[in-house]
Structure formats: C-alpha cells, structure tokens
Amino acid sequence: MSIGTNLRHDSALTHVAGESIFIDDRPEVRGEVHVGVVGSPIARGKLKSIDAREALSHPDCLGVYTASDFHAKRWGTITHDQPFLVVDEISYMQEAVCLVACARRDSLETVKKLVRIETIETEGVFSIDEARAKGEVLYRAASPFVQGDVDAVLQAAPHRLKGVFICGGQEHFYLESQAAIAYPLENGQIEVHSSSQHPSETQRVVAEALGIPFHQVVCVVKRMGGGFGGKESQGAPIAAYAALVADRLKRPARIVLTKDQDMMITGKRHPFQNEYEVGFDPEGRLLAVKALLQSDGGAYLDLSSSILERAMFHLDGAYFLPNVRIEGVCFRTHHHPHTAFRGFGGPQGNMTIESILEDVAHFLKKDASEVRRINLYSGNNLRTPYGQVLENNLLPEIHERILESSRYRERLQEIIAFNSKRQGRVRGISLTATKFGISFTARFLNQANALVNLQLDGTLQVSTGATEMGQGVNTKIQQIVAHAFGVIPDAVRMMPTSTEKNHNTSPTAASSGSDLNGAAALLACNRIKNRLIKLAKAKFEGFVFDPTTEFDPGPDHDAAPDASFVFEDAQVRDSRSGASVPLKELIQTAYQNRIPLGSYAHYKTPGLGFDKTRVTGRAFNYFTQGMAVSEVELDEYTGEMKVRRVDILMDLGRSLNPGIDRGQTTGAFIQGMGWVSSEHLVYDKKRNLLTHSPTTYKIPNVQDTPREFHVDFIENPNNDRNVHGSKAVGEPPFLLGTSVWTAIKHALSFRADGQEIRLTSPATSEVILMELSRPKGV
C-alpha cells in the first residue's frame, strides 16, 4: 500500500548527493549568453534617457535592450499593468529599466555599471496612510462580507474595543533565486526552462513579450529550489528577459539573479494595516466585529486583489462571528509590487482576529484559551461571514485535545508563578487556530490535467501541471499512481512539468497542487484500469486471444473501476473467483490487442462557485483545521525572545504521506514564526531595501526553533471531498506561527499593569523592548 506511508521525497537522494538539477546546474551550451537587469536608481519619477554607448563598447557586451525591444510593453496575472521594462514612468526602486547581454557572466556587473540612466525624481508614496490620504487605490473589494446588524449590536454590547492591527511584509527567501534559460529553436520557437510555479503563465507572458503565438513557446519546469508563492507570477517576466535576448541574438540566454538582486527587485508578502471595532460580553463572547482590511500592494496590481479577498475570507479565523462587517481595500505605493506568499492573505486576516481575542482576554483578565473556546465554530454556529457553512468541523475536539496534550492549564499556572518573581525574564503562552479554506477562489483555476503512460514492462511515466518546489507534490502523485496499479512507487516516474504535455495549467499554489493534479492523475489511471479490467474479465471468462480475434474494450468511461478487481503486488486479481494475472502479462495482451495503455484526464473541483459581488456561493472545497500552543520567554533587559515549546495538532484527513505532511507542518510553522518575530524589512529614506541578504535579513535559524516541538495529527476518516480523503497542508500550518506572537503579547500583559498592549508584527527584540519600556499611561 503506497497511500498513507512515509515514502521518501522523490528527490531526497539526489538532493543529499548534490545531483538534483536546478536551472543554473544546467550545463552551458555553445554560444550561450548571460543576461543582467539594470534597475532604477529612484523609487518614483520619469526616465529621461538611457545611454548604453559605453556599455556596448565593452568587449563582452553583446547587446543592451530596452522597453522598445518588447512586442507587448506590459504584463500581469490579473491586469496587464506592469511594464516589462520602464517605458517612461518609474514606480519603484530597482524597477527593471534595461537588460544587458554578455558573453561571460563575470562581466555582467561591470557592463551594467556602464549604462548611464538619467531620471527626474518625484515624491513617492510609501505607506498605507499616505496612499489613503492621496486616494491611491489599486483595488477595492467588490462587496463587504456582512452578517447581522453590526452597528446596532456594537452600540448595545457590554464591552467594546477598537484599534489598528499592523503586520509587516516578508521576504520569500527561497534558496534558488529567480532564474531561467531560453533556447531558440527552429522556426522561431522558444523553449524556456524556468524556476516557476506557473509554467502556463510563463509560456503566455513569453509569447506576448515576443509577439508570437503561444504554440511557439514551451515552458519546462523540472523543480524549483523553493517558491513559497514568490514564483507564482514574478518568475514570468524573468523568463521573458531571457527569451527576448535569445530571440534577438539567436543564442541560448541564461538569467540568474543573485540573492541581493532578487530581494531588491521582487515583491514581498503584503503589509497590512487593519482597523477594527469589536463588541463582546463579560465572558468574552464576540457579539459583533467590524473590520477594514488595508494592504500595501506596491506599484502594480500583480495578485493583490485576490490576496486581499483571501484575507477577508480568513478574518473570522476559527471563530463564529454572529454579526460582522468585513471590508477590504488595497493601496498603491511606490514599493516593489507585492505578490503571493504562503497563505496568500490568509495569515494577515487570521492574525487580526487572534490579536483581537488576545486583547479581549487581557481586557477581561481571563484566560485567552477560554475566550477562544467559547467563540469557536461549534454546534449550529457554523455559518461563515461569506455564507459558507463549515462542514466536518473538528475545531472543538482539536481545542480540547491540544489543551490536554500540551498541559496548557498546568503550564499557565507555572508561568504565572514564574512571572511573579520578577527575575528579568517574563514568559507567555498562547493557543491559536487555523481554519484554512482550500481551493482557488477564482473558480476557473480549480482544474488540472494529467497524462499517465503505462509502459510494456509495467512501469509508468506521469506528467501533470504540478510544479515541485520541495513540498513533495510529485511524491504524493507518485504514491497515488503506484497505489492505483498496485506497483511499487519506484515503478512510477514523475516527468518534468511541460506545457507541451499539460496545457493551460493552474499555478501550483493555494495548497491545491496535490489535490488537483493528484485527482487528475487518478482519473487517468482509472481510465486505463477500466480497459485492463475488461480485458482481464474476458481472459478469466475464457476469451480466446489469437491473431484473427481482437478484443475491443469499448469506449472509455470515467466511472470508478470495478472494486472486485484488485491491483496489488503487480498482479490483477478477481476477488470473487480468485483468478489472477500478472500485470505485465495483461499489459502485453492489451498491447497486442491494440488497447491504449496511456490516458489523459481532466479534473475540475466539483461544487465550487462564489459570487464576490453578491457574496453568495461556495468559496472553498473544504477547510484544513489545526491549532498550536506556543510558550515564549522574553529577556526584559534586551527584548530577546526564545520559543520554549510548541505543540501542534492538525486535521489532515487521511494523510497521503505523513512524513511529508509533518515536514510541511513544521516548516510552515517556523516560517510563520519568523514572519511574526524576526523578519523585518528595512528601507532607507530613498526606499532602497537595506535588508537584502542573509547577513541583514533575519530568518529563523536552528537556534530559533522551539526547544520542545511536538506535532501530531488527529484522525479524521470523514473527509470525502478530496482524493483518498486527504487534506492540503502547504499553507494552513503557516497561520499557526501567530501563536508565537500572541504568546509574546501574553507575556507582555504581565508587565502592562492593565494598560493596552501596543504590539506590531514582527515583534522583533527592538519592538518587544520598546513595549516593555513604554511609560505607563503613554
């Protein structure tokens, strides 16, 4: 049985041996050139001129390219509003102005410095407050999410709080920077190898940039060295830069950004500044919540509209809000265009409600876990602010189980006793939850296709639109296919993702890669199995196979295969009669009878459809649920924070691969913890990014991980909305990193003397120390 086992990642051995091939590991070919990007020296203004004469005189320089060299001047995932290269208006620091092509990579930086760019600088907008004051709106949500009479209930509520929740951006910090190689082929074709989560969009953007039909471009993605959403959209123009040079010079062209260049050029997680008002009763039960979510989208739209909407979808978190109004607006600033990042707006929405609940508990002097418990979705209180009813709800069970397994109540009393001694250290503990909606909220993206080829020796080659960025999607699909045919996983080879085999693919994002592509692969397997079952049945019933008699299985159908025929241990067995045949023998018979042994299948998630204007319909296929308890300790003299212990309990349905799911859970949590505690983006006055390298940008290292780290999964056999009853895991645990931030907030409450805690995110040591040092009454 392949399903539910800890099969190792399909690239684990080659990763460890250093044999995995990433973009820049591809050997250079004869005539290959290297491409560099020259960025703007100002954040906003006019481009007056580009003087490339000195650069072109360099012996290694083969060309300098500007916006005029592109057929289409702009690109975009939702709206074509972003220039490939600056045309006249400059909108953010290091915006791509021109490209240089060199015969040698080590000449790129020298040649780039020889390009003279003349600009006229104007005043930029760099904060949400500034953008709002100037009416710089990128996108406003079509309709608010409204339930009940919010204003009336707020006025009548026994207690009210209002405030502003602020959370910063985050750098993706994937190990492999943005990279692509373009190979010019005969008849004007281009083959692009890209580090991209979205091969079909890369194909489209390259074709539009060059002014050629889509069928002239093939995009291939073997794997990425990490993505986290940063390569969902923003890898496409990088590929277009390489393709343009390859097309103009008729030579292969490679572009590989350095880590510093990548961090300065590309967008981040969206900063949010959310205004809220909440009414609640003396027990801490939320009666009404009014929230305005405000994001910094940067200079161009990118995916900001969808990210804002997902933040709105996740403002409720795991909690029932009987009366609620949620609005959203994304502002234009002169920062790099912000983009997708693990959670896709969900963390910024979810963290807001968790912060509110922590404040409510602090105001009422109650245990925050009890305040959360009475607000959880439970009983008949299952309707979300956008009208979808929460099905298969395990939140109350998860809450009780994790309180017990983490010894939360006992440890809370220990923390209270510890903090009373005033030893220069203060501890806090907090529980937060995730209820993450799984599906793209744009219905058309919830589709996938797969090609499964069964070879004559019983092995299989599988092609899907999923892209492997380290998350194990290929391994999970490998297990699904191996299980379908009853063969060992090593008999299944996952092929590189390519737009010539899998067309119009959706990005590997929204935690849906395994769901969509795994389901498509299973459909393709079932079509082949149905043919083989008909053949086996005929064989067991005595059908005579000879050169004059050919067996015809009839037309394909998508019905589930006859369960009485078991594919196991490379055999096909009729469980009723006991008759069996080796799979390889049955394959040979099928081939000799001209029965196809390959199949293509298309899958679309059923039952989805959400109208964001009327706020009706089903936005998500299901919800992945979980909770975390985090304990922290703060140094009152330095503000240093240490995570003492973390306990996580997740509902992942029936896991396809518990080992991979455990890795995704721990990795997502640590990344989320970094976002809320140490990953601070710092810009100078001109908006140069100062934290653009591993030496200046603080992601969690091994010393920052919890001293005790417990991860467990709850049994949930009732999920029937996804392939083999599994649930997605890529993004949901990221939201649990919030528990570290709320634990910091809880620790600070012991030193607040009853006054409001003003904690922003990330809660760096400096932020913590400033809050600890804030004079009372200020």
Torsions phi, psi for 660 (to 5 deg): -65, -40
- Sorted by where each starts, the structural domains of the chain and their CATH numbers stand as 12-123+172-265 (3.30.365.10), 272-441+613-773 (3.30.365.10), 447-604 (3.30.365.10)
- What tokens does 164 get? 């502003």
Return the residue matching tokens 């949010």: 272
Rounded Cα–Cα distance for residues 81 and 97 (Å): 16
Element (H, E) at 312: helix 304-313
The DSSP letter of residue 25 is G
Residue 129 binned pLDDT confidence (cut-offs 50, 70, 90): very high
Work out the percent of the chain whose per-residue pLDDT is above 70. 100
Rounded Cα–Cα distance for residues 229 and 509 (Å): 7
SS3 call for 9: coil
DSSP per-residue letters across 96-121: EEEEEEESSGGGHHHHHHT-EEEEEE
Residue 752 contacts by C-beta under 8 Å, 6 or more apart in sequence? Answer: 362
Q: What is the pLDDT of residues 538-590, one digit of tens each?
A: 999 998 888 888 899 998 888 899 999 999 999 999 999 999 999 999 999 99
Return the residue matching tokens 């306990």: 647
Considering Cα of 568, then 570, then 575, then 578, what sign does the dihedral take?
A: negative
Rounded Cα–Cα distance for residues 65 and 37 (Å): 10
Rounded Cα–Cα distance for residues 667 and 665 (Å): 6
Return the residue matching tokens 């922290």: 632
Is 513:473 a contact under the CB 8 Å cutoff? yes
Q: What is the pLDDT of residues 210-258, one digit of tens each?
A: 999 999 999 999 999 999 999 999 999 999 999 999 999 999 999 999 9
The DSSP letter of residue 491 is G
SS3 call for 31: coil
Residue 526 contacts by C-beta under 8 Å, 6 or more apart in sequence? Answer: 484, 558, 560, 561, 601
- What tokens does 732 get? 């949901």
Rounded Cα–Cα distance for residues 376 and 285 (Å): 10
- What tokens does 596 get? 């196809």
Residue 734 binned pLDDT confidence (cut-offs 50, 70, 90): very high
Residue 1 binned pLDDT confidence (cut-offs 50, 70, 90): low
For residues 260-284, give the mean pLDDT: 98
pLDDT of residue 546: 84
Torsions phi, psi for 90 (to 5 deg): -100, 130
Residue 434 binned pLDDT confidence (cut-offs 50, 70, 90): very high
Rounded Cα–Cα distance for residues 389 and 372 (Å): 19
In angstroms, the Cα distances linking 719 to 28, 366, 693, 713 are 49, 35, 43, 14
Distance of CA 293 to the CA centre of its chain: 20
Considering Cα of 508, then 512, then 518, then 520, what sign does the dihedral take?
A: negative
Q: Which amino acid is at 150?
A: V
3-state helix, strand, coil in the chain (%, to 5): 30, 25, 40
Model pTM score: 0.97
Neighbours of 381 (CB within 10 A): 14
Considering Cα of 211, then 213, then 214, then 216, what sign does the dihedral take?
A: negative
Burial pattern 613-634, b for ≥16 Cβ within 10 A else e, equals eebeebbbbbbbbbbbbbbbbb
The answer to whether residue 776 scores a pLDDT higher than 80 is no
pLDDT of residue 428: 98
Q: Are strands 641-651 and 447-454 parallel, antiparallel or unpaired?
A: unpaired
In angstroms, the Cα distances linking 425 to 368, 428, 637 are 21, 10, 8
Work out the percent of the chain whose per-residue pLDDT is above 90. 96
pLDDT of residue 544: 85
pLDDT of residue 725: 96
Measured distance between the N- and C-terminal CA atoms of the chain, rounded to whole angstroms = 63
Is 373:629 a contact under the CB 8 Å cutoff? no
Mean pLDDT over all residues of the chain?
97
The answer to whether residue 202 scores a pLDDT higher than 90 is yes
- What tokens does 768 get? 């913590």
Peptide bond into 27 cis (omega under 30): no
Rounded Cα–Cα distance for residues 127 and 53 (Å): 38
Closest CA relative to residue 92, chosen from 338, 340, 337: 337
Is 496:222 a contact under the CB 8 Å cutoff? yes
3-state secondary structure labels for all residues of 399-459: HHHHHHHCCHHHHHHHHHHHHCCCCCEEEEEEEEEEEEEECCCCHHHCEEEEEEEECCCCC
Distance of CA 326 to the CA centre of its chain: 23
Which residues make beta-bridge pairs with 378? 381
Q: What is the pLDDT of residues 172-181, one digit of tens each?
A: 999 999 999 9
Is 630:739 a contact under the CB 8 Å cutoff? yes
Q: Which amino acid is at 602?
A: H
Rounded Cα–Cα distance for residues 205 and 180 (Å): 13
Residues in the chain: 778
Rounded Cα–Cα distance for residues 217 and 200 (Å): 10
Rounded Cα–Cα distance for residues 466 and 504 (Å): 12
The residues that are catalytic are: 731
pLDDT of residue 417: 98
Q: What is the pLDDT of residues 283-315, one digit of tens each?
A: 999 999 999 999 999 999 999 999 999 999 999
Residue 772 binned pLDDT confidence (cut-offs 50, 70, 90): very high
